[in-house]
Amino acid sequence: MLTVRTATLNDLSSISVIQASCYSPEFLENEAAFASKLQQAAHTCWLACVDQQVVAYLISLPVSPDTFPQLNATEFYLAPDATMLYLHDLAVHPDYRASGAGRQLIQRVQIQARQLGFTTLSLIAVQDSSIYWQKHGFEIIDPAILNLQHKVASFGQSACLMQQVLKA
């Protein structure tokens, strides 16, 4: 049975294992980068577990456009003027891709974003994942709208900024 819970610093090794199974080397973040995000925003970082084994994670962060973290940034601080929830990283272990774990984590974050008063979710899609995100209601937007061209470009040539406006 799949369960969802918040992530803690004790989950860093599980997160790293899943990340390594999902991303090419240029997208791997070290544990210090994850630790910084968890220390600041653990309440918006989620895990999907099967029999208490972590099978997927979703790191989401309250941000404003000028506080989007760059890849592998080891110092993340919560924005006091956060305007949206940024889905920094979703990864599902390959053995559990058909389990619905990704969908459940996204739904959890959508609910939480509304509870926190956010009306927008944003993300930077990498590794040609924009089609996956479009299936979950996200749309590609021009990074210039939020003045994020430089940060989006730091994720590679095929990276794209995506956003979802949450329905009330």
* pLDDT exceeds 90 at position 107: yes
User: 67 vs 12, which has greater pLDDT?
Assistant: 12
The pLDDT assigned to 100 comes to 94
Tell me the two tokens of residue 32: 């210090």
Domain membership of residue 70 as a residue range: 2-165
Cβ neighbors of 72 (< 8 A, separation 6 or more) are 29, 30, 33
pTM: 0.93
Tell me the two tokens of residue 159: 């990276």
How is the beta sheet containing 84-92 ordered, strand by strand?
A: 2-6, 45-50, 53-63, 84-92, 120-125, 160-165, 139-140
**Residue 83 belongs to domain with CATH number:** 3.40.630.30
Q: What would the pLDDT profile of 133-168 be if each residue is shown by its tens digit?
A: 999 999 999 999 999 998 898 888 889 999 999 987
Q: Which DSSP symbol is given to 76?
A: -
Number of domains making up the chain: 1
